[in-house]
Amino acid sequence: MRKFLLGLLLFLNFTYPLMAQNNKIRVLVFGAHPDDCDISSGGLAALYVAGGHAVKFVSLTNGDKGHHQMGGGELAQRRYKETQEVARRLGVTYEVLENHDGELLPTLENRLEVIRRIREWKADVVIAPRPNDYHPDHRYTGVLVQDASFLVIVPNILSGVPALPNNPVFLYTRDNFQRPNPFRPDIAVDISSVFPKKLEALDAHVSQVYEWLPWIDHDTSVPANAADRKKWLANRWLTRSQPNPEIRQTLEKWYGKEQAAKVTQAEAFEICEYGKKPSEDDIRRLFPMLLAKP
């Protein structure tokens, strides 16, 4: 009996971690620049991390042009440090590739780098911008992820990195562009409870949210004091992630009308036609926060 119990204990010690690992959802978010992932999916990432799941952000450029007073290697280093602070605050992994800002192209080399990262992360969900956008880096990030979406399961492509046995679900992030077709919110996630966490992530991108982006907008209202800056940032972003009527309707589908009415902040995603075509059950399994009750 003692040997049996010892054997059972060893079996459980071995299998339980594997079971826990198998239940862990692995999410990979691609952005063109070192703050794009936070802007599009920072709230979703916080919810996944709180649930014990694994999230990685990847910026396909180093952001070395995104400032009005500095640039080149100095800016790239500054922005990389900002991403690592975001990683600490959100509990995600954050990688920045060395493509120059404003020069990203959908080359074979870049496609293989995207395939590599999807495979190495063993992603269940891959998130990226749509390939229609004002910024060429955003567009080509979407194209590169689209081009990788089938090839991640093809063993003879990038054969040095094992192909995924199953295609991930690929999603597009929210935008306001109408042509050639508008964004469709297939999935909407309530981020009201983690909105302060998203703001903490954005606050780490000092070079962007307090300097570069206000400069582009000719906004001179940014306070000098750090505490006042955070309040300014919160006010600036309150309306940006409020659900519009279409997103509110999607929230009702996933949360029910009563709970959806309470949502003040949301992130929305469109299901890409490439990759795995998820059923409603698949979506609820991959987005366990949709089952949350008020």
| Per-residue 3-state assignment (H helix, E strand, C coil) for the chain | CHHHHHHHHHHHHHHHHHHHHHHCCEEEEEECCCCHHHHHHHHHHHHHHHCCCEEEEEEEECCCCCCCCCCHHHHHHHHHHHHHHHHHHHCCEEEEEEECCCCCCCCHHHHHHHHHHHHHHCCCEEEECCCCCCCHHHHHHHHHHHHHHHHCCCCCCCCCCCCCCCCCEEEEECCCCCCCCCCCCCEEEECHHHHHHHHHHHHHCHHHHHHHHHHHCCCCCCCCCHHHHHHHHHHHHHCCCCCCHHHHHHHHHHHCHHHHCCCCCEEEEEEEEEECCCCHHHHHHHCHHHHCCC
* 171 falls within a domain: yes
Residue 94, pLDDT > 60, answer yes
Q: Is the CB of residue 47 less than 8 Å from the CB of residue 196?
A: no
Residue 291 pLDDT grade (very low, low, confident, very high; cuts 50, 70, 90) = confident
* 19 falls within a domain: no
CATH number of the domain to which 282 belongs: 3.40.50.10320
* 175 falls within a domain: yes
Q: Looking at residue 292, what is its pLDDT?
A: 60
* 12 falls within a domain: no
- What pTM did the predictor assign? 0.91
Q: What is the CA radius of gyration of the chain?
A: 20
Residue 58 pLDDT grade (very low, low, confident, very high; cuts 50, 70, 90) = very high
Answer with the residue of higher pLDDT: 291 or 111: 111
Q: Looking at residue 261, what is its pLDDT?
A: 95
Residue 184, pLDDT > 50, answer yes
Domain of 117 in residue numbering reads as 26-291
Question: Which residues face 190 on adjacent strands?
Answer: 266
Q: Is 171 helix (H, G, I), strand (E, B) or coil?
A: strand
* 205 falls within a domain: yes
Mean pLDDT within 194-223: 97
The CB density around residue 16, as the number of other CB atoms within 10 Å, is 10
**Six-digit token pair at 176?**
């306001």
Look over the chain and give the mean of its residue pLDDT values, rounded to a whole number: 92
* 9 falls within a domain: no
The CB density around residue 132, as the number of other CB atoms within 10 Å, is 18
**Six-digit token pair at 223?**
């306070």
* 167 falls within a domain: yes
Q: Looking at residue 4, what is its pLDDT?
A: 43
* 145 falls within a domain: yes
Domain count across the chain? 1
Answer with the residue of higher pLDDT: 217 or 292: 217
Mean pLDDT within 134-160: 98
Answer with the residue of higher pLDDT: 2 or 131: 131
Q: Is the CB of residue 190 less than 8 Å from the CB of residue 252?
A: no
